[in-house]
Structure 1
Amino acid sequence: MEATITITVDGEKRTATVDTRVTLLDLLREHVRVAAPKKGCDHGQCGSCTVLLDGRRVTTCLAFAVQHDGAEIVTAAGLSTQDTPHPMQRAFLDRDGFQCGYCTPGQVCSAVGMLAELEAGWPSHVTPDVGSAPERTPAEIRERMSGNLCRCGAYVNIVAAIEQGAAR
């Protein structure tokens, strides 16, 4: 069975007719040719496919495309303008928050989404008092980013980049 889906990706409306079993990641990469989200594990374990979906971070390999007809998606490429990188992208460059770069688009989108969660006051597993607003600490950042793996092991620099990006 097929369905026609319209999504807005990085500010541009895109339409595709796909099998109803197609994931959002495959819709983005194979049908509308958006390269920023990467296919890593295809099981929701690595975070390479993370994007902002209607403002929230989502691993697109676990979402069916038909569930998100009409959605607004922002990829790492859509965070910046043509002339100016997003503060989180700038921080990843400044702090050397990547090595091979494969996970970086997912890391950047997850970091932006994670900071929005912190700002909204959502507690995490390591939040000491779930009744009060969580603070942006290295422990909070590491816990909230634990769904994004870096095979190169650039975690120390990723945390530093997120701290810098959040400060901007």
Structure 2
Amino acid sequence: MSASAAGTPRSTAREVRERVAALPDPELPVIGLGDLGVVGTVAPAADGVLEVEITPTYLGCPALEEITASVRDVLAACGHPDGRVRQVLTPPWTTDRITPEGRRKLAAHGIAPPLSPAPDRPVTVALGAVPCPHCGSRATRPHSPFGPSRCQSVLWCTACREPFPYLTAL
């Protein structure tokens, strides 16, 4: 750690990245931004100012403003009050960026994580393709295209008769 102009110890880019990755997603607070796969490079820019790249889960994400503010708070707390948050839209975020731990956390909280595609095939969401996070049955069907947040839909398990949110595969 070095000191900022105000004398506050400056955390390294790695330390800042770890703290940003641990921030909970505002719409899915059971998962951190790192496990969700929205945190990109954390490094000094050409002018020496520490920059954090984030990739929103989709354009128009209503949580983006809150995420950006939380990242700025981390930068300031880590001795980088001049740090920047940069939104990266290319390549776009996809559900394959969710870590295995993130998928486990989603499932543990009743949210069906998107299916992982085979490396050479696209994701298909067909009737019965998504296992129920409550009972594990694949006897599931679409219930509503609209879920608890804009990036989720609701599926219905015909085995245990429970609805559950499904993180929409993008």
TM-score, normalising length: structure 2 = 0.27
Question: Which is greater in Rg?
Answer: 2
Q: Which structure has the highest helix share of the two? A: 1
> What is the TM-score with the length of structure 1 in the denominator?
0.27
Higher relative contact order (CA 8 A, sep 6+): 1
